Amino acid sequence: MDAKIVKRSEKSYIVEVEIPYGRAMLESEVLIQRQINKAGSLATGESLLQFDTDGAPVAVEGRKMTSKGKIAKTYQTPYGDVTIERHVYQGSSGGRGYCPLEKNAGIITTATPKFAKTVSSKYSDMGGVRVQKDLEGNHGRRISKSHIQKICDVVGGIASVKEDMWHYKIPSVEKEVKTVTLGIDGTCMLTVEDGYRQAMVGTIGLYDCEGERLHTIYAAARPEYGKRTFLNRMESEIRRVSQLYPDAEYVGLADGARDNWPFLEKHTSVQIIDFYHASEYIGKVGNAVIKNKSEREEWIRRKCHQLKHESDAAEKICPEMSDFLKLRTSEEKKDKIKSAVTYFKNNFHRMDYAENREKNIPIGSGVTEAACKVIVKQRLCCSGMKWKEKGASVVLTLRCLNYSDDRWEQFWNKIDRYGFSLAV
């Protein structure tokens, strides 16, 4: 029971499909999907033909090309495979062939745009085997893992190459953007070439005058020495945001890693050490010197409250922690106290938590910490996973597009509008 086109006009066509009844509802739904997929494949093939030429010679980049005739090729669609005959062109001196249909319709490898979009979206969230199972179980589509990988490699390549040319609009926000936070952090992943290496993740958060987050932009890059790709990516995003919100206050938020701060200081007027990292050092000191549990918990609570709510609290707490070094205790515990004292002394100027809270400026880098987990860990650090440079780059590129609100749709709209032949 195949689908068939029963009527055509200049503007549309009608597809007829027969759907059998099933013995149970689940079986009926499977039969419906199977037949709808047949109709969808037929309709996609019909729609593809409108992007072909009539066979007349064409000019491509100044070269005259003539048709070698219609040659059949199978394309992957959201509904199934479809084989159609389309014109393939070649120049008089030979060389690589040219297919107007594929360029005009936005074919990616052999996938239609909608199917490439579906596959790459799923691949940004799960591995190739899981994508295979999802497509077959939920869409009635069987496709090889290698084909999934090939589609996603091309889509990721387009996104990477067009990164500097395609600018993405920030979704409209109802409230005024008062604060823009910049956060960067690294998290380890397993690579094929060098073992565990650090992938970089960055966030740009837009906040209103009440300190409510309105929008977040994600950036990430595979492990690399020098972090050049990542830092260039972040600078591009920062430049675009600063053009939109020149009057906002730009705040750098990160943990105590030294190599984060030169970049953040370059782009922000205020720098803040993540409050929860700072409070962890207070906890380490309390655990090292106060034996009684209730007294220890109370001391930690009071010091964290003081750090968060009192002006110049870090400068007041630091000498108190230093005094604990006079106690008779183990060298291991003294080392913990010393590390906390050093951490505080190095970051007094980034611990104005009370003042920043009064201004409704965020004092925690939780958005960036979460991004490390969501963008990298949940996808690239599953059991048994090892990554080559290209594979990691593709996944991180797709994932950042998919997790930054509205960017995924904008990316595909740009492919539809501008094409991508120069990118691949």
pLDDT reading at 421 higher than 70: no
- By the 8 A CB rule, do 84 and 75 touch? yes
Share of the chain above pLDDT 70, in %: 99
pLDDT band at 237 (very low <50, low <70, confident <90, very high): very high
Per residue in 7-36, pLDDT (tens digit) is 999 999 999 999 999 999 999 999 999 999
pLDDT band at 423 (very low <50, low <70, confident <90, very high): very low
Strands (E), 3-143: 4-8, 13-16, 58-60, 63-76, 81-91, 94-98
3-state secondary structure at position 113: helix
pLDDT digits (tens, 9 = 90+) for 34-64: 999 999 999 999 999 999 999 999 998 888 9
Amino acid code (one letter) for 192: V
Q: 265-288, pLDDT tens digit by residue?
A: 999 999 999 999 999 999 999 999
Helix (H) or strand (E) holding 204: strand 195-207
- Mean pLDDT for the stretch of residues 238-262: 93
Which backbone phi and psi does 43 adopt, to 5 degrees? -65, -40
Which domains, and CATH codes, for the chain? 1-105 (no CATH), 108-169+406-424 (no CATH), 179-271+371-390 (3.30.420), 276-353 (no CATH)
pLDDT band at 78 (very low <50, low <70, confident <90, very high): very high
> What's the rounded mean pLDDT across residues 147-158?
95
pTM attached to this predicted model: 0.89
Average pLDDT of span 175-187: 96
Which band of pLDDT confidence, cut at 50, 70 and 90, is reported for residue 172? confident
pLDDT (0 to 100) of residue 94:
80
Query: How far is the C-alpha of 237 from the C-alpha of 40, rounded, in Å?
Result: 39
Rounded mean pLDDT, 210-231:
94
Q: Give the residue-averaged pLDDT of 234-245.
A: 94
Strand 195-207's sheet: what is its strand order? 213-221, 195-207, 179-191, 249-254, 270-273
Give the ranges where 268-359 is alpha helix by DSSP (H): 275-289, 293-309, 313-323, 331-346, 353-358
Q: How confident is the model at residue 424 (pLDDT cuts 50, 70, 90)?
A: very low
